[in-house]
Chain A
Amino acid sequence: MKAKFKGSKLLTILGSIAALYTLFPIYIMVVNSFKGRADIFTNTMGLPKSLDFSYYLSAIQKMNFIKALGNSLLLTIVSTVLIIILSSMTAWVLVRSNSKISNAILYMFIGTMLVPFQSVMIPLMQYMSSWDIKAINFSMIDSYYGLVFMYIGFGSSLSIFLYHGFIKGFPRSLEEAAMIDGCNKFQVFWRIVFPNLKPITVTVAILNVIWIWNDYLLPSLVLKSPSLRTIPLSTFYFFGEFTIQWNLAMAGLVLTIIPIIIFYIFSQKYIIKGVMDGAVK
């Protein structure tokens, strides 16, 4: 009994050390975002002498933070919602029709999950910039609908794969009954099938939100106008400009991770479950 007690105490100590190590960079970032220039260089590790929010105010202004936050939210939500709608519909039909063609389509989606983004990015940019109609100001490059279009393309494989696996284990009797009652396919899907997909929809949503929210490479290639910048993009340009002013840079970084922490606190259970489902593919 005594040995067991000691063992669990030791584990708690080890766990705390690991937790401190994990949180240490975040601590350093937060305390230094309040310090004056001299204080940063002589007292990097300690607490700030006063809570000076001036670097935050200045970072919000210089990063155009509110705008970037709105942009990131809009882009992430619209892309994720469209990915969910389109890939759940597609996966359902692919499962239920179960023909040679539908299997071929499924394998095409799954097979390309292997293709790294870097292998298609160069031709993709050239191809998308050729979709350009000057007369109506339509362009896939430097526009949100262009970027959303590309997110749907890259996000659909994994989402269809996850939906497909989930729907496969579902009885079709309910759908058939609804058909007999005179529902058409759209009604069957939205009234009967989709509500039952909730657990996997949460997983698909979480995985896509984390990916799109943090993605830097694709928006950096597609978006050119500063007013369209998302959080990772504005952080990148802001950091490049203010590396010498560490307090300002740290305040900017704290701002960028606040939304993530809020999201994490409220949906930790779903996030961890989503990550498990997504990885065990």
Chain B
Amino acid sequence: MFTALVWLQWKSSRAWIVAAAVVVIALPVVSVVREWPTDPYAMAQFLGRLEAWSFFYPAPAAAVGIAMASLTWRADRAGHFIYALTLPIERWRQVGYRYGAGVLWILAVSALLWVAALVVVAVTPVPSSLRSYPHGLAAKFGLATIAVFTIGFALLSLPDRSRRALGTAAAALVVVQVVATLAGWEANWLVAVFEALVGPTGPLGMLAGRWMLIDV
């Protein structure tokens, strides 16, 4: 059954998987090989440009994580889980298979990034003063995508009522923040919530931090 769910996941989200694969192969090539300075004295500017490029890594990680999470549940949710619950398998096991199928494709995309990063580092004459991070970058991409996927997977597997309550709470927070800003209050809850989400201890913290393939 797991194999069937893996292929179901591929059928539903292949466009995203292929797009992510193209992006993660292109990013190291474009950011390092294309930008590599012909003038060795310009290494500082190269690192500045590479840092600008590095902001493009978390974007596909977040996009793929969200897309995979929503596509995982789309068919079951459309059928109100009736077909899924008639299958002769425990509920938790089926949820686990669904999750595993999504993670497997994320790992495949991360593996492509890893290979691309290794090749790029191998063909680039990185000076000894700089360090390259092909393993760390691919692992970070994988974990960041899995983190987004897992949070989305959990939220989208919630009952309708709970999801609506969460959505209402989030919308209320935005409205209250807008009112507070218009009233001239200094409180900024949205920033606090954002920091809690992507800070070092937050569930989406892997999206922040450094994403440099070559760094000091």
Question: Do the two chains bind?
Answer: no
